[in-house]
């Protein structure tokens, strides 16, 4: 079999014989010459076939091609500055229709729900393909940062015997003669690595929330980006790690995909400066109120409009796309968040807001066993059900903290996408389990 050449590699190749394979994007079936735009996973290429005056099987094959059909072409590569598509073209010598395609059920203006039904076709669109190449670069940059800073990668189980945060958003599954729960986060297990002596850990893996939300930023299954580290003085150390990680990721994305992103999405990737602005939640609510918006008082959290307002303030005052909101109330934080010594109603925690949307929660963890047990009871949790977790803290554990961050949210906001579904390979929500 002749070796296939990716389209992206043709520009650097010499003129001469070449074999390419891909999907038919468009066909211009003219009287004297035929043009086919072929697209593979790396780019697009113009194929050319001058019609013969007598019998011409290649011309007949091209005339019958449907959009999306997969073909293999062997021919002569030619560099020509006049060719608008990359300055190269291939003169067709042989053509094989490997797989014919039906007419596509989706188009550029098709609604997102139907596009999700036909996601494998939707992902052929170069713009959508680019999203996941960017995702790859982002994850690789984060892993590189972690490894270079002596972090250990872990893979935690996704079947759990008890809740890791609260029972309100748990998926319960039958487990032999008993029951189990899908992990809401790797929280317990990445904390287990601290008394185990790992020191610094990270994981990129799935998490599950039984949240019946139909917003543009929620999913029932998502990729969680997590990190935990020992020997910290406060949540400030976690925030410092977090912002350095974001700088590393955005730098890599800008360097590798900056021009493509600007062309496809109209977005200029900005590498954030450090330190990121930090604003205590109470102060953030006051700032938002002065801007004319009152955050509802039914809980102690910042609502989505409040997040947008404080992000707008930070953009105006500091020219920054990120802001840490700190010192959240213990009433809305998990039992394992450490509380301030001077005010037990406030935790040593933060949310990271990016372009007006929360993408992450981080905190210093409580490592004192008696305090943990008391805080679990305050949250209505039974310490006996958490015995395996609480045992971590009975045998010596250093002060530690970490964060969990939604990968798709970061991509969505980085690229200015309208919703999380666009930035998720296969989206899962309350009404979607297919494809």
Structure-token match 């906001």, residue found: 413
Q: Print the SS3 string covering the chain.
A: CCCCCCHHHCCCCCCEEEEEEEEEEEEEECCCEEEEEEEECCEEEEEEEECCCCCCHHHHHHHCCCCCCEEEEEEEEEECCCCCCCCEEEEEEEEEEEECCCCCCCCCCCCHHHHHHCHHHHCCCHHHHHHHHHHHHHHHHHHHHHHHCCCEECCCCCEECCCCCCHHHCCEEEECCEEEEECCCCHHHHHHCCCCCCCEEEEEEEEECCCCCCCCCCCCEEEEEEEEEECCCCHHHHHHHHHHHHHHHHHHHHHHHHHHHHHHHCCCCCCCCCCCCEEEHHHHHHHHHHCCCCCCCCCCCCCHHHHHHHHHHHHHHHCCCEEEEECCEHHHCCCCECECCCCCCEECEEEEEECCEEEEEEEEECCCHHHHHHHHHHCCCCHHHHHHHHHHHHCCCCCEEEEEEEHHHHHHHHCCCCCHHHHCCCCCECCECCC
CB burial class (10 A; 0-12, 13-18, 19+) of residue 151? buried
Residues 6+ apart with CB under 8 A from 259: none
> Quick one: tokens of 99?
């797989």
Q: For the chain, how long is the longest CA-to-CA vector? A: 92
Alpha carbon distance 14, 12 (integer Å) = 7
Q: Can you say which residues are annotated as belonging to the binding site for ATP?
A: 358, 406-409
Structure-token match 């955050």, residue found: 295
Residues 6+ apart with CB under 8 A from 418: 112, 216
Q: Can you say which residues are annotated as belonging to the binding site for L-aspartate?
A: 165, 209, 361, 365
């Amino acid at each position: 079999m002749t070796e296939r050449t990716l389209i992206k590699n043709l520009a650097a190749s010499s003129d001469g014989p070449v074999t390419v394979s891909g999907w038919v994007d468009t066909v211009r079936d003219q009287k004297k010459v035929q043009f086919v735009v072929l697209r593979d996973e790396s780019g697009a290429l113009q194929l050319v076939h001058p019609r013969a005056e007598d019998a011409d099987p290649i011309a007949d094959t091209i005339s019958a091609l449907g959009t999306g059909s997969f073909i293999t072409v062997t021919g002569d590569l030619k560099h020509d500055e006049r060719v608008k598509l990359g300055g190269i073209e291939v003169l067709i010598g042989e053509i094989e229709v490997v797989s014919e395609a039906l007419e596509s059920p989706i188009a550029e203006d098709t609604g997102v729900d139907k596009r999700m039904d036909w996601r494998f076709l939707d992902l052929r669109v170069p713009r959508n393909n680019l999203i996941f190449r960017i995702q790859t670069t982002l994850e690789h940059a984060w892993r590189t940062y972690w490894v270079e800073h002596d972090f250990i990668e872990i893979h935690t189980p996704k079947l759990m015997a008890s809740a890791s945060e609260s029972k309100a958003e748990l998926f319960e599954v039958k487990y032999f003669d008993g029951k189990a729960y899908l992990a809401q986060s790797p929280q317990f297990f990445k904390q287990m690595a601290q008394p185990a002596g790992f020191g610094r850990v990270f994981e990129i893996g799935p998490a599950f929330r039984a949240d019946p939300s139909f917003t543009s930023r929620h999913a029932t299954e998502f990729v969680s980006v997590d990190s935990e580290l020992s020997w910290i003085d406060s949540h400030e150390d976690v925030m410092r790690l977090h912002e350095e990680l974001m700088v590393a990721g955005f730098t890599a994305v800008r360097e590798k995909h900056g021009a493509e992103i600007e062309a496809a999405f109209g977005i200029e990737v900005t590498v954030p400066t450090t330190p990121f602005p930090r604003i205590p939640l109470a102060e953030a609510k006051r700032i938002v109120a002065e801007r004319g918006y009152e955050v509802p008082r039914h809980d102690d959290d910042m609502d989505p409009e409040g997040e947008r307002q404080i992000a707008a303030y930070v953009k105006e005052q500091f020219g920054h796309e990120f802001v840490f909101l700190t010192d959240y109330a213990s009433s809305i934080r998990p039992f394992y968040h450490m509380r301030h010594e001077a005010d037990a109603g406030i935790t040593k925690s933060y949310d990271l807001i990016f372009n007006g949307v929360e993408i992450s929660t981080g905190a210093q963890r409580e490592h004192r066993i008696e305090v943990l047990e008391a805080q679990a009871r305050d949250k209505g949790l039974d310490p006996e059900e958490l015995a395996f977790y609480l045992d971590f803290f009975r045998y010596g554990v250093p002060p530690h903290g970490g964060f969990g961050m939604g990968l798709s949210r970061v991509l969505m906001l980085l690229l200015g996408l309208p919703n999380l579904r666009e930035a998720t390979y296969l989206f899962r929500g309350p009404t979607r389990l297919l494809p």
